Structures are given as C-alpha cells and as structure tokens.
Structure 1
Amino acid sequence: MTKFTVHVGTALPLRRSNVDTDQIIPARYVPYFSMTGHGNGLFADWRDDPSFAANLPQYQGATLLVAGNEFGTGSSRESAVWALQKDGFRAVLAPRFGDIFRENALMRGLLPVQLPADTVERLWELTEADPALPITVDLEQRQVRFAGRAEQFDVNEGARQRLLRGADTISDTLRHEAGITAHEQARRPLLPRTRSTA
C-alpha cells in the first residue's frame, strides 16, 4: 500500500449528496473478488452527461474528491474504493461518510476526510472558480489547507499510523510474526495451528 503523509493536489467538486456505492461504481462494473478490471466504471451512470464535473477537461488529473454529505452509503462494496483509486484519487473530502465505505477506504489506502459542510461548500466554490487551486491534505498534522485556510480533521489513530507507514492490516499483523510464532510453538500439540502458505 502507498504511504499517505502529505498530499498536494487539485480537486474534483462533486456537488451531490447521498452518493451510494452503486452510484460510485454500478454493480455491472464490479468483477467480484478482484482489485482490477473496473474499467471505466467510476460514476458510470453519470458519464453520459457532458456537464458532469468528472467529464470536464479542467478537472482531469484531480487527485482529491470533494463530495456532499453521506458519501459512500449503501452496500459494502470495496470496488467503490478501488474504482476511486484507479482514477487517481488519494482522498475524499465530505461532511459525512457511510461507515462501511470509510472503513474500507482506510484499509485500502484511500483517506476519507470528514469536514464541516460549510468548509465543503467553500471548497466547491473555490475549485469551481479555480480548478487548479492547490489543496494540501496533511495526515501527519491532520489538516486540510487551501487558500490560506487550515481545517483540522479527525481520523482513527490506528488507521492513521498504518497509512503513514503504508501498511495494511495484514502487514501490520505480520510486524508481530515472531511473537505469533512463539505463541504457536508453545501451544499444546492437539490445538489448531496456523501454517504459512509460502
């Protein structure tokens, strides 16, 4: 997983609330149990609208998504996170996230940043006026900085530490491999054991 410390990028303003995971990537684009093969599935049902922000040339290459309230509600579709990452997004900024989406994002290296609704509104206004506006998402300081303004955000500390190291939950567990091995070796022989697949 790629480390996330400080990221500076431009933003795609998504002036929509209650965007569920089926709107992020419709089910027909989801290859089950695969992180690849999402094609052009991100926001696919809105791509026929030429005015949709993701279709506009000034927002191509954006690495931050600024969305409305309740982003990522609905099913526990990890593909929603993967589709956003495949399109180059490193973080999503919104007033509130679906709980399962937020946890999936944190486990996969996409940073969900919860900001007040008025801050999101201001970001929409600024990025619509200037699509090249640089926005800094600083996980080390837990800050979003733009246009001379700094906004603090909260994030689960365990997830924050994993993102800063570029570690997922499996690699985080494997940091304790020696202790796990010692525990397994000390167990009575008749009890179940874990085995390496390597």
Structure 2
Amino acid sequence: MMKKFLSVLFVSIAFILTISTFGQASKVEAATDTPVVFVHGLGGSDTNFALIKRYLRTQGWDSDNLYGIDLPSKQGNQELNSAAIRNFVDNVRNETGSDKVNLVGHSMGGANSLYYILHKGGDSKVDKLVTLGGANRLTTSFAPSGIDTTSIYSTNDLIVRPYLSILSGAENIAVYGVSHIGLLNSYQVNQHLRGALGE
C-alpha cells in the first residue's frame, strides 16, 4: 500500500515539475524571439554591447536576434539619431518578420531611443525599452505609454546622475558600486536586463 502511494506521489510530482518547466521554457523562448536593438551613447559604437550580447546568448537569445546600431551623431543629436534608429528598426523588422523590437539604450542612447518612440513612430514598433544609465530626462520624465519600460541606473554613476535616469511609470532599478561604463559589463546589471527583457 505504502509502495503504491509513494509511486503515485512520485509520478504526480514529476508531472507537476514537467508542466512548470515547460511553462518557464515557453516564456523564455517567447521573450528571446523578439529582436533586441542596442543603442549606444555619446562617442560610443555598436560594439559597446559585446559583453551583454555574449551574456544574453548564454541565456537563450539567438545571436541573429541581437542587433547593434552605430549612430550617425556621436554627439547625441536627437533628430539625426532618432531617424537612424527608425530606419534601423524598420530594417530589423523586415529582416526578421517581427512586428516589434526591444530597445536597450546606454547613456544618451536611452534619450535617443525615447525620442524615437515619442517623435518618430516608435511607439507602435517597440515592445520593451530598457535603459542603462540612460540620460532619459533629456527627452522626457515619463515612460512612454503602452511600452514596458525599465530604467537600470547606478547610484555611483558620475556621468549620468541617477535623477536623469528615473522615469515616472517605469520600473526604476538602482544598482550599487557600478560606474557609468561599468553598466555595460556588470553581472548584476545583466541579470536585471535579462529579467526586463524576459518578462
């Protein structure tokens, strides 16, 4: 009797774990299907996100769904850069067949991404926006309506002060002991980024 009970209990637990794992795998798979476009800051380039891309690949993202734009204005000109982001996003959508992309912007790349969303038609083409030490308030103080927005910033950032990153209506996540450039190479930032993109 006890043997039969233990056998049924074991099968039930295994079944529950299988369903639970399948549900989590499906969620991650769905999240990783959306192309991610990385937007650099002042004086940067598309190569700034090499370590973050490598991390995301270890977490299930396909390298074919990770894109970096090299902006035309290294000084952060909003008009020029937001137009370039618009064209780049449209090319990524055409190439992948995806309706929307997720944007990840570092520093002024956050402000440029917000400008694209608010003024260049990006509101219908972006699913999630994540900024890393984003100079967000140079564009707006509010998260764009209908877009899942996360602002990850460091209390130790001496280049973009935390108040410039915080957006009303966004999930604002403070990290500690990380420099402005260090946001591009931080395990704790990567974990928050993965969570923001994978939800």
Q: TM-score, normalised on structure 2?
A: 0.34
Q: TM-score, normalised on structure 1?
A: 0.34
More helix by share: 2
